[in-house]
Amino acid sequence: MGQLAQRIDGLGQRRGGKRPFFPLILLIVGIIGLLLLAQAVAQTDNFAETWNLGLRDVLNEFKRWVVVNRNDHWLFVFFFEPLSAVIDFGLRRVEDLLLWLPWPVVIAGTFWLGERIGGLRLGLLTAVCLIPMGLFGLWAESMQTLSLMVTAVLFALALGIPVGIWTARSPRAEKLLRPVLDAMQTMPAFVYLIPVLLFFGVARVPSIIATIIYALPPIIRLTNLGIRTVPADALEAAEAFGATERQLLRGVQLPLAMPTIMVGVNQTIMMALSIVVIAALIGAGGLGDVVLKSLRRLQVGSALEAGLAIVFMAVLLDRLSAALTHLERNSQPRFKGFRFFSEKQRHLTWVRRIEEVIETIYQACGRYASWVNAQVGRVVKDGRMGQWVRRYPNGVALLLTLLLVSILMRLLGLGDFPRVLRVDIRGVVDGLVQWMQVNLYDIGGSGIGTGPLRDFLIISVFQPLQHFLAEQLPWTVVAFVFAFLGYQAGGWRLALSVLGLTLLIGLLGMWPFAMDTLAQTLVAVLICVAIGIPLGIWSAHNDRVEQFVRPILDFLQTIPIFVYLVPVIMLFGTGSVAGLIASVLYSAVPVIRLTNAGIRSVDETLRESATAFGSTQRQMLTKLEIPLAFPSIMLGINQTIMMVLAMVIIAGLVGATGLGLEVYQGFANDNMGRSVEAGLAIVLLAIMIDRITQKLAEKTAVSANITL
């Protein structure tokens, strides 16, 4: 008990006691000295134009060389073109199949897949998610997006799983690839489009390649993690029975690592969906193209329809891939109860009757499958085909039935989603947008509404902060502050690397745009922290709040980044404010979740000891819970910052200023050099902030004796 009290007192002293003033004095003296220096030396106030590396002209010249030599240079003839042809062949086959299959067959097949993986409820959910895509008149576009997803994910898994196995077996390979994967996960998705656009042009194939690159890190990391965490005694037992290295991998390591690998598959699918939508900028087509064109024309109703279709597809893919992680558990009889309802509802008579009807339907389907397989067995008796038919009777019956139904419906011309079932919400939404723009802009002349809020944020927050960072504050002061934070977080090595990255942003000629983006990021992060930490604390202390907030956070994490812009534009129009609101909605989730998780993970014995010593609820929170949860909170802030940076860039599509607008205008004006410079500045800014916040999280974890 005495040790616990000392630990509580120590935490309070670390957080609330006096600290050495030397770092603060050094910071103040350095800023004052650099401000005085900026008045005397112009180059320390603003980046001199003569310092510009001139990367833009070099890249544009390289692009012209690529265009001229694309048809005859060996690099394109023997590498890029064959790679593009292979990916295009796979994409076209998947897309042709999905577009040829009648819509009821696609829904039935998806229902069966969901039912096999996760039960009847998951099967019904997948079917319900597909139906709105047809009701909105977006069935073809949805199948195009789904084909892009399937192709990209299959290629990503085919490449990522072997690389993950390789890194698990080779520490040298793991050490070599770790910084590469870190950089890939740090870069905003937008940046991947730039090099792919250069070497593969504008089409769907470069969209798939960008998607593959962006979605690779999770499957590589989690395959590596899964294999490395296989129990040593299982490996020793297999080796004792004479298993070869290949048998060890296929028979022991991969099966035991499969749950972790399936988590990687889930993350890969969700990351692929987010960039497939963004890839509409380079000709990916599908639902992302509908959203993009609608946003450009300010047709919010059409954008909302396509956005909802994307959300339903995200929910479908997320639930299916998440169910794969529990596939082994779901297949065990002891975890199976009622088909649809919970076992807790067994005492209800009407529930039992409904379940009896469902079970009767299942039995009828089983008899039909047995009859189909009996007929097939007369034709296919021996060989591998016969074994496959006997092993998977339900699957064979379903495939044959769906094939026959597909052929019959195509012959009858019933394959396309009926237009009579079209549900048009775009007119209602556009009318609602007009009403909100008129009636919510300034409610009753009270000075309260979307208009005054937008004006306040632009005039009183964005413009002064951007003007201060980009024009009033010398670049040397900004670089010094970043380097100082790097030193405080990780020492001289991190400080020097941060200083070098800061200087490189200026040498690229992107300093004022980077400061604009930094201003937007700071405002969005402060709002996320101001909302997220109190909400996380509240949900950690109240189970009802946590149960209420959890599905909302799940939904916000499922929505692809592109879709957040649609409802925000309805209220605030285009511009930086729309990007800010969308950034807050998209990025507040991690800090809420990790604050909740950090406080809930505090040792209960410490709480009891603090209560025994007479601590009030406020003292318990400020001196015990927050200090111990602070490393987790810092990780949440780190993730929030990276997500804000990603969304600030996407907001450039709707008029938000800064680096995102520079990247987008470079695309629009065929100025690749401009896009690359802005994209590199985004990456450099993201890496700096990511490294500083990660090191701060590690430092706070060490000070609180917590292992991250």
Domain boundaries, the chain: 353-421, 517-708
Q: Per-residue confidence at 65, pLDDT binned at 50, 70, 90?
A: confident
Q: How far is CA 205 from CA 50, 334, 457, 498, in A?
A: 39, 46, 40, 36
Q: Among 523, 482, 516, which residue's Cα sits nearest to residue 678?
A: 516
Position 133 scores a pLDDT of 92
The answer to whether the CB of 26 falls within 8 A of the CB of 485 is: no
What mean pLDDT do residues 551-564 have?
A: 78
Position 347 scores a pLDDT of 73
Position 16 scores a pLDDT of 43
Q: How many CB atoms lie within 10 A of CB 522?
A: 15
Position 626 scores a pLDDT of 85
Both tokens of 644, joined, read: 């804000």
Question: Which residue in the block uniquely carries the two structure tokens 């723009």?
Answer: 437
What is the biggest distance separating any 2 CA atoms in the chain, rounded to whole angstroms?
95
d(CA 192, CA 199): 12
Question: What tens digit of pLDDT does each residue of 339-372 get?
Answer: 777 777 777 788 888 888 888 888 888 888 888 8
Give yes or no for residue 268 having a pLDDT over 70.
yes
Give yes or no for residue 232 having a pLDDT over 60.
yes
What mean pLDDT do residues 671-696 have?
A: 85
Q: What is the DSSP letter of 47?
A: -
Most confident by average pLDDT, 58-67, 124-133, 198-207, 406-415:
124-133
CA 566 to chain centre: 18
Q: Is residue 106 packed enough to be buried (19+ CB in 10 Å), middle (13-18) or exposed (0-12)?
A: buried
Q: What's the CATH number for 517-708? A: 1.10.3720.10
Question: What tens digit of pLDDT does each residue of 514-530 get?
Answer: 888 888 888 889 999 99
What mean pLDDT do residues 612-634 have?
A: 83
Q: Per-residue confidence at 697, pLDDT binned at 50, 70, 90?
A: confident
Position 130 scores a pLDDT of 93
What mean pLDDT do residues 246-250 have?
A: 83
d(CA 568, CA 571): 5
User: pTM of this prediction?
Assistant: 0.79
d(CA 328, CA 319): 16
Q: Per-residue confidence at 500, pLDDT binned at 50, 70, 90?
A: very high
d(CA 271, CA 153): 10
d(CA 446, CA 448): 5
CA 35 to chain centre: 40
Both tokens of 256, joined, read: 């035991």
Which is more confident, 281 or 321?
A: 321
Q: What is the DSSP letter of 418?
A: P
Give yes or no for residue 5 having a pLDDT over 50.
no
Give yes or no for residue 383 having a pLDDT over 70.
no
Beta carbons within 8 Å of 480's beta carbon, 6+ residues apart = 30, 31, 34
d(CA 157, CA 163): 10
What is the chain's mean pLDDT, rounded? 82
Residue 439: what residue type?
N
Question: What tens digit of pLDDT does each residue of 13-25 get?
Answer: 444 444 557 778 8
Position 43 scores a pLDDT of 65
Q: How far is CA 166 from CA 161, 175, 182, 210, in A?
A: 9, 12, 17, 23
Q: How many CB atoms lie within 10 A of CB 217?
A: 23
3-state secondary structure of 170: coil
Of 117-121, 203-207, 343-347, 349-353, minimum mean pLDDT range: 343-347
Question: What tens digit of pLDDT does each residue of 396-445 get?
Answer: 788 888 899 999 998 888 888 888 888 888 888 888 888 887 788 777 77
Both tokens of 473, joined, read: 């504050």
